[in-house]
Amino acid sequence: MEDILKGRVIWIFDEAHFDIDRVIGIENIKETNMDNLVKVCMKPFEEDFLEKIQKGDWIVGGRNFGYGHPHKPPMLVLRHLGIAGIIAESFSPGFYRGQVADGVPLISCEGILEKVKRFDQLTVNWKESTIVNESTNEKFTYIPLPKSDKNIIDLGGHIEYLKKRFASEQKVEK
């Protein structure tokens, strides 16, 4: 993954304990067709969301983001639409584990809800654990990910991580 990620804040879920399944509606959590998921994505929140989203945009959330039974389709469709990742006050443990395994950049940043507003332009330095809100010229740090989690995300998810790990172990055994 790139060290510098630039994108806008496309949406802010400012409530605590946000259930990611609400992005597509609970009735669609078993949907696997991406075209159908795109049609329902964010409809409960903003009818024309799809017209506003751009590749590299960020979702911002409050405490315990991803609470509930995090299913894959909501994040799959957000990633398909170009979301770079999620910056939240904190993450639900189940959501965090699942999204790291899928290679989604997750950033825990205390006070993020007070530091950004919708459509602010952000520059995230993944290597140095800093965010610059280019719209306000404010720079702040975030909690660095554990090295193992960062490695998984950097490689694009657990499958690529395991391929690399087992390939290096096989070389050592020979």
Average pLDDT value for the chain: 94
Where in the chain are the domains?
4-173
pLDDT in tens, 81-96: 999 999 999 999 999 9
Strands 4-13, 58-61: parallel, antiparallel or unpaired by DSSP?
parallel
Q: Say if residue 174's pLDDT is above 60.
A: no
Mean pLDDT, residues 119-147: 97
pLDDT in tens, 52-107: 999 999 999 999 999 988 789 999 999 999 999 999 999 999 999 999 999 999 99
Mean pLDDT, residues 30-38: 97
Q: What homologous superfamily does CATH list for 4-173?
A: Aconitase, domain 4 (3.20.19.10)
pTM: 0.92
Which of 93, 122, 120 lies closest to 4, judged by CA? 122
C-alpha span between 11 and 167 (Å, rounded)? 39
Neighbours of 90 (CB within 10 A): 18
